Amino acid sequence: MTAGGGPRRAVVTGASRGLGAVIARVLADDGYELLLTARGAGPLEAVAAELRGRGATVTAVAGDVADPGLRARVGETVRQAGPLHVLVNNASELGPSPLPPLAQYPLPELDRVYRVNVFAPLAWVQELLEPLASANGLVVNVSSDAAVVGYPGWGGYGSSKAALDLLSKTLANELAPRGVSVVSVDPGDLRTAMHQAAFPGEDISDRPLPSVTVPFWQWLLHQEHGAVSGGRFRAQADRWEVVR
């Protein structure tokens, strides 16, 4: 739940497909004005058009979340609009496919994984901190079960998400005096393009579609932000409670 009156606004990265598009739909159905970003301009605009057809106010800005120029453009647009109630850092980089073991991981590729999965979410918080603080806003960082398990081959991606989890918890503590709340969310195994890239040539049709997480997002958006801040949630859990 958010503070104050007026329109509620949200930014979602990686919103052109999969989980990001699902989160954008939930926010739109809940009445949020949206600014969506993703690398693919065509798929991003298709999602934006769909949501506008459902009555939502949507701005789509294509670009790479690791690009400071994109963050500056989005930041200026958000500041002109007013308070920002929700920031969803969903955009992620899987890394090479097939997934290499850490002992053979190409370090330039690992650098890219960390720039997208760790540095970019922090940079988006830094860019949008003032509008988030003015709304007692909520930052949602999308994590993974790979952050806590140590699956062979998933060390690059998983370690980046483990770093994101700690970053989220630390930000929750540091930003509490500003009224900004931060959570991390493990969406669970999903049938997405990224998950398929992790298993090239394999059938992943047994995984659920990203829409399976809709009840979680509906629940999270209606919690008091301060009550959930610092938590790490599993979207496909039987019940949701704060795990700090």
- Residues classed as catalytic: 157
Residue among 37, 125, 131 nearest 84 (CA)? 131
Q: Hey, is 5 helix, strand or coil?
A: coil
115 DSSP 8-state letter: I
- Tally Cβ neighbours within 10 Å of residue 100: 16
| SS3 annotation, 26-70 | HHHHCCCEEEEEECCHHHHHHHHHHHHHCCCCEEEEECCCCCHHH
Residue 125, C-beta contacts closer than 8 angstroms, at least 6 positions apart: 87, 89, 132, 139, 171, 182
Query: 């999903």: which residue's tokens?
Result: 190
Alpha carbons 140 and 183: distance in angstroms, whole number: 5
178 DSSP 8-state letter: G
Q: Hey, is 172 helix, strand or coil?
A: helix
State the number of CA atoms in the 13 A half-sphere of 131 facing the CB. Answer: 22
Where are the extended beta strands (E) located within the chain?
9-13, 33-38, 58-62, 86-89, 138-142, 181-186, 232-234
